[in-house]
């Protein structure tokens, strides 16, 4: 069994999923266990794979990331979901605050150090933005 934290990435855009995978490869403490292209797939994979961390896009077809996050956190309160999008923090949809996500990451700030910081601070604040 690996000491690395299992991560599920969820984004409807394959290029951003590839960017997330590249970042995870540079962060030895994280291990990619699955990827999904929409909220419905994410819920199924989260149930099957039990990731510690889910990097979740907000805007996706079929089920958006906010609804998928609500469902995941309701079923598994220990899962850490970080919502990702291109919104400025001040322009986030109001539902983000009640989704159960621990943090928001602007996709432009995606990097191994930022991901480590958000993980390390996941319990220190109500909601973190990077």
If we measure between CA atoms, which residue out of 45, 85, 44, 48 comes closest to residue 65? Answer: 85
pLDDT of residue 90: 83
For 1-130, strand residue ranges (E) read 5-10, 30-36, 53-57, 80-85, 103-106, 128-129
User: 81 lies in which domain range?
Assistant: 5-129
Residue 94: CATH number of its domain: 3.40.50.2300
What are 24-54's pLDDT values in tens digits? 999 999 999 999 999 999 999 999 999 999 9
> What residue ranges of the chain have pLDDT lower than 50?
1
Q: How many domains does the chain fold into?
A: 1
Q: What angle do CA 105, 18, 6 make, to 5 degrees?
A: 70
Helices marked H in 26-96 — which ranges?
39-49, 65-75
- Would you state the structure tokens that stand for residue 73, as one six-digit string? 């956190």
Write down the pTM of the prediction: 0.93
Structure confidence at residue 125 (pLDDT): 66
């Amino acid at each position: 069994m690996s000491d690395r934290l299992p991560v599920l990435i969820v984004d409807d855009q394959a290029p951003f999923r590839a960017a997330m995978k590249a970042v995870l490869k540079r962060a030895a403490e994280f291990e990619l266990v699955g990827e999904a292209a929409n909220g419905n797939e994410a819920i199924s994979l989260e149930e099957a794979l039990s990731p510690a961390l889910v990097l979740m896009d907000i805007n996706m077809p079929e089920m958006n990331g906010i609804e998928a996050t609500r469902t995941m956190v309701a079923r598994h309160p220990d899962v850490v979901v970080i919502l990702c999008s291109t919104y400025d923090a001040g322009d986030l949809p109001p539902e983000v605050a009640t989704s159960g996500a621990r943090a928001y990451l602007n996709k432009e700030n995606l990097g191994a150090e930022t991901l480590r910081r958000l993980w390390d601070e996941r319990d220190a604040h109500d909601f973190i933005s990077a």
